[in-house]
Amino acid sequence: MRPDQRRPLAGTRAAPDFFRLEERAEFAPELVVDVLHGRRLGVIFRDVIPEAARKESVARFWASPARRHREGEPSHYVGSYHWNKSTETYLGETAEVVAHVRGVLDVPDSPWRSFRSQLAEELARQDAVIRIAEHQGAQACPALIRAWDKAGRFALEPHEDAAQCTDPRQAGFEIQAVLDHEVCAVNMCVEHEEGGRLVIWNIRPDAASRRRLGIEHTGFSYPADALDGFDELRIDVRPGDVYVFNGSYVHAVDASTGNRTNLSFLMGFIDDRTVVSWT
Ligand SMILES: [Fe+2]
């Protein structure tokens, strides 16, 4: 083992009073704006998705002809993701699947639409907008709908969402400007059986740590023993919950039983007045 591989994970840690998830029983878009500005770690809104909208989202997801599952990978999904590929590949895959994604999202009382419209109203008060990220006339995917089914200690291995925004194959894609602000993960839980807590560790790894682990442009995954000693949050997630958190902190989904189905996207400011989203 080279000496630098023994060095613990390095980076930035939040103050203890910052390192918590605010919990509310009603949606409050001003708290989401706080997360976007780095003024709070995250927020979870409990049971804010109407039951009929959840059930219809779940039914459409499992019935979708665009649902994909790769053996050895932890999820079924409808949508596309930019992780570890070129901008062109991501946007090309998005174009092929976006109508199916919209089909799953566009249920009566759509949680995706109500989140976006209420957040847009709040941002408008600050002369800011939210839109889907774009590149040379092509749009990013509006959401990725995923169900985890992986056994083991983690259903989704520890990772962070900032490293993937440094991929040289995506140079010039506007999402990379989010790194000057905060990368925020949005998740809407429409189906959940047991377990599958959200875990967040109090560490934003630096570039040198990522390089040592060979995950410079992916942020995936961090070995569990590298995370020993950092404070962690474990948050129970239930159907109907919507949560938003700063994706630069290492996070994971712990072991779950049965289906844990989420609508998700990433978002962040790219300048003082523009929030873009992607998957
Ligand atoms: Fe993530």
Render pLDDT for 115-130 as a digit per residue (tens, 0 to 9): 999 999 999 999 999 9
Instruction: Measure 164 CA to ligand 1 centroid, in angstroms.
Output: 10
Instruction: Measure 165 CA to ligand 1 centroid, in angstroms.
Output: 12
Instruction: Measure 158 CA to ligand 1 centroid, in angstroms.
Output: 8
Pairing of strands 42-45, 21-24: parallel
Q: Confidence band (pLDDT; 50, 70, 90) for 225?
A: very high
CATH code: domain 14-278 is 2.60.120.620
Instruction: Measure 109 CA to ligand 1 centroid, in angstroms.
Output: 26
pLDDT at 4 over 70: no
Q: Confidence band (pLDDT; 50, 70, 90) for 74?
A: low
Instruction: Measure 159 CA to ligand 1 centroid, in angstroms.
Output: 6
User: What mean pLDDT value characterizes the chain?
Assistant: 94
CA dihedral 142, 147, 148, 149 (to 10 degrees): -150
Could you give the count of Cα atoms lying within 13 Å of 131 in the half-sphere of its Cβ? 12
Cα 182 off chain centre by: 12
For the chain, what's the residue count? 279
Q: What average pLDDT score do residues 232-242 get?
A: 97
Q: Which pLDDT score, from 0 to 100, does residue 150 have?
A: 73
Instruction: Measure 10 CA to ligand 1 centroid, in angstroms.
Output: 19
Instruction: Measure 259 CA to ligand 1 centroid, in angstroms.
Output: 18
Render pLDDT for 190-216 as a digit per residue (tens, 0 to 9): 999 888 899 999 999 999 999 999 999
Question: Which among 244, 208, 265, 254 is positioned nearest to 122, based on CA atoms?
Answer: 244
- What global pTM score does this model have? 0.96
Instruction: Measure 253 CA to ligand 1 centroid, in angstroms.
Output: 9
Residue, of 66 and 258, whose pLDDT is higher: 66
Instruction: Locate the domains of the chain by residue range.
Output: 14-278
Q: Which pLDDT score, from 0 to 100, does residue 7 have?
A: 62
Instruction: Measure 102 CA to ligand 1 centroid, in angstroms.
Output: 22
Q: Rounded to whole angstroms, how far apart are CA atoms 180 and 3?
A: 32
Residues 58/239, Cβ–Cβ less than 8 Å? no
Instruction: Measure 161 CA to ligand 1 centroid, in angstroms.
Output: 5
Q: Which pLDDT score, from 0 to 100, does residue 3 have?
A: 45
Instruction: Measure 264 CA to ligand 1 centroid, in angstroms.
Output: 9
Residues 158/232, Cβ–Cβ less than 8 Å? no
pLDDT at 1 over 60: no
Instruction: Measure 3 CA to ligand 1 centroid, in angstroms.
Output: 29
Instruction: Measure 178 CA to ligand 1 centroid, in angstroms.
Output: 15
% of the chain residues with pLDDT over 70: 96
Render pLDDT for 145-175 as a digit per residue (tens, 0 to 9): 999 877 788 888 999 999 999 999 999 999 9
pLDDT at 99 over 50: yes
Q: Rounded to whole angstroms, how far apart are CA atoms 135 and 124?
A: 23
